[in-house]
Amino acid sequence: MNPAICAVPESEEPPPSDPALPEPALTLRDLASFNPGPSGLASEPSGWAIVGRPVNLLADAGVVARSGTLLGRPVEVVFTPVSYEWSASTGERVVTESAGRSWDALGLPELAVTDSSLRLQRAGRVTVRLTVHYAAEYRFAGSAWRGIPGTLPVEAGELELLVGTFETVLTDGDCRANPSGPGC
C-alpha cells in the first residue's frame, strides 16, 4: 500500500522510437501542430459587389506538405483541399469543390454566375470568410501514405466588400459632354 514503491519517475525526453513497432493510427486532432495555414483570397469585382448580382470568389489554397516529429518519429503530412466554404456576414453562403477561377479564365462575361459566386442581398459593408476543408494523409519515415477519416476545417482568411445598388438609364449621348441631353 506504499505508493512510492509503484511510482515511476516522469522522463522529460520521450523514449526513442523503435522502428520495429507498428505505426500508430493518427486522427486529425493529432495533426493540429501541422496546420496548413491561411490562404490567399480575392473577389471579382475586386473589393465591391452589386446587390443581387454575383460576386465571384477566388481562393489561393492548394496542396500543403509539412514535416516534423510526431510521437517521437519523423512524419510527413500532406493536406489536400476538398471543399471551400464562403460565408458572408449577411448570411449568404456557398460551398464548392473548386477554389474558383476568374471570369476571364472561365471565358465568362463580368458578373456571370460561377460555382464560387455569392449574391449578396443587402447594401453596405460585408465581410466574406473562407474556410477550406482539407483531407489529410501522413507517413512515418518514408512508409506508405495513410489517409485520415474526415476533413480538417481551416479558417483561411476574410475579405471586405462594399455592396451597393445600381440603376441603368437610357441617354442620348455622353451626359458629361451634354448634361441637359435626354435622359441626363
Give me the domains of the chain, ranges plus CATH numbers: 23-164 (2.60.40.10)
Rounded distance, CA 115 to CA 7, Å? 61
Burial code (b: 16+ CB inside 10 Å, e: under 16) for 20-54 equals eeebeebeeebbeebebeebebebbeeeebbeebb
State pLDDT tens for residues 5-35.
444 444 444 444 455 567 778 888 888 788 8
Predicted structure pTM score: 0.77
Residues of the chain above pLDDT 70, percent? 88
Contact between residue 128 and residue 90 where contact means Cβ atoms under 8 Å apart: no
Question: Tell me, what's the pLDDT at 12?
Answer: 45
State pLDDT tens for residues 30-85.
887 888 888 899 999 999 999 999 999 999 999 999 999 988 889 999 999 999 99
Rounded distance, CA 157 to CA 143, Å? 34
Those residues with Cβ within 8 angstroms of residue 154's Cβ, 6 or more apart along the chain or in another chain: 35, 36, 37, 38, 39, 131, 132, 133, 134
Question: Tell me, what's the pLDDT at 167?
Answer: 80
Question: Tell me, what's the pLDDT at 157?
Answer: 92
Per DSSP, the three-state class of 40 is: strand
Given pLDDT bands bounded at 50, 70 and 90, which one contains residue 169?
confident
State pLDDT tens for residues 103-131.
999 999 999 999 999 999 999 999 999 99
Contact between residue 46 and residue 40 where contact means Cβ atoms under 8 Å apart: no
Question: Tell me, what's the pLDDT at 14?
Answer: 40
